[in-house]
Amino acid sequence: MSNALNLIIYSVGTILGLVVVGAIVALFIRDITQKQHTILRNFPIIGRLRYFFELQGKYFRQYLFSGDRAELPFNRATRAWVYKNAKNKGGIVGFGSTYDLREPGAIIFVNAAFPILEEDQLPTPSLFIGEGYCRYPYEARSIINISGMSYGAISAPAVRALSLGAAKAGCWLNTGEGGLAPYHTEGGCDIIMQIGTAKYGVRDENGNFSPARAKEIAPLVKAFEIKLSQGAKPGKGGVLPGSKVHAEIAAIRGIPAFHDSISPNRHHDIGSIDELLDKVAYIRELTGRPVGVKTAIGGWHFINELCDIILRRGPEYAPDFLTIDGGEGGSGAAPQTLVDHAGLPIAEALPRVVDALIESGLKPRIRVIAAGKLVTSAHGAWALCAGADFVNTARGFMFSLGCIQAMRCHLNTCPTGVTTHNPRLQHGLVVEEKYLRVANYAMNVNKEIGMIAHSCGVRHARELRREHVRIVETAGKSIALNMLYPYPEVRKGFNEKININ
């Protein structure tokens, strides 16, 4: 019996050995005869290791070689901070900070000699959006909110967890340009419906804006947002690979299943600021909801002209809010050239936009929402100092869902189930657990922004001003934000009619 068993093992081992040798020989022949790859042609088989390490290099660097503050787009220290707050374990550290206060661009808050006592601290007040200009203004309670991520770009369990978490935390959830899915409404949270260039969710059979569909959706949402562009890819529409466009997503968007979903790079019916303001006023009157505009900023011509035309036409034509997306945004698929080089970063874009609104007297009329890599409470407090009313983040909430920055969002192979439609991978994202982390993250960011405000000597976060933060210019030297971007004087208001021609 033992001899027979040994013979079987020997035979199987021999066969497997021959298979391995045959595979190596086949690869060797294939490598030296192919003409596409020089390394493989000159170094058959061994050269394949180079491609393996090239593919896996970013993962090795992430866990073994990069320092806690060295990675991009988000370093390990930032991700760990989000994870701890999402798990409600607090952002407490010992033995000092690894944040380099000598690095240009570092944020330093101006702590008060006599900070606000606990008994004098006030809760951060809510703000109304569209009050006095639409039938159903929106009272927004949270400073930090969930930025646009389409169902399709992220999975159904991820959308469900975000909806439930947003409801618990009292923040809003932006649908992204992919349309309103049943999972968005599941948690009963406040929803902002984004209207992208393809009009997904509010389009007719010809792909044009459908007033009937917009009126049907209006009771389910708190506001509409017309997206001109986003920080990841200004000048190019949304991209969802066909592998992620399954039947349900295709039905919501009104497109064929398993075909690439590529939005136009611009709204066909919005080609000027006047047409944009006409569309804002029309949708607001049609739905009764506040209507805002999302855009990345490339220079000052657009925002200056926008303010001038609003003053000429009247405040009833103004968008109820502006979402300013920095060039460092990017939770979805985008061409690397645009991700790397198009659009101003939020640190420059936000103060300039706020300045234009202050100078024209429009700041009280138009709420400002800042977005673009603002995932921590420090960045949220900086945005309020610069003049924002609210902060949107997408990747911060992705981290709260368990994202590990695998950077495979566009491949439908996300290992944490956040951006994949593979049921096996989605299995790891347990909605009943993750929605609590979404809520914890939002509530703790709001809490810590308040803590920064009290340290700066103000009663609540909405009293933060530019003089409360300094920006490092060079090692050993910083400048107050109100010196870097001085507050402008109001030069005109609603009652002053101007002629820009």
50 to 40, 53, 59, 63, 299: CA distances (angstroms) = 9, 5, 15, 20, 42
pTM equals 0.86
Structure token digits, residue 60: 């090795």
Structure token digits, residue 194: 């984004």
216 to 192, 221, 252: CA distances (angstroms) = 14, 10, 14
Check: CB of residue 444 under 8 Å from CB of residue 87.
Answer: no
Using DSSP's 3-state secondary structure scheme, residue 36 falls into coil
CA 31 distance to own-chain centroid? 43
461 to 244, 389, 397, 451, 492: CA distances (angstroms) = 40, 10, 21, 8, 28
Indicate the helix (H) or strand (E) that contains 12: helix 2-33
Locus of tokens 């809520």: 439
DSSP string, 161-181: HHHHHHHHHT-EEE--TT---
Q: What is the mean pLDDT of each run of 10 residues along the chain (501 residues)?
A: 71 80 84 78 76 63 61 78 88 76 91 93 96 97 96 93 97 94 95 94 89 96 93 70 83 84 86 96 97 92 94 96 84 67 86 96 97 93 97 93 84 88 89 95 96 96 97 92 93 48 31
The rounded distance, in Å, linking the Cα atoms of 131 and 135 is 8
Structure token digits, residue 138: 């929106």
Check: CB of residue 142 under 8 Å from CB of residue 161.
Answer: no
Locus of tokens 């380099």: 100
Using CB atoms within 10 Å of the CB of residue 110, give its burial: 0 to 12 exposed, 13 to 18 middle, 19+ buried.
Answer: middle
CA angle at 293 for the pair 279 and 260, rounded to the nearest 5° = 90
The rounded distance, in Å, linking the Cα atoms of 456 and 390 is 19
**pLDDT for position 245:** 84
**pLDDT for position 48:** 77
CA angle at 257 for the pair 252 and 260, rounded to the nearest 5° = 100
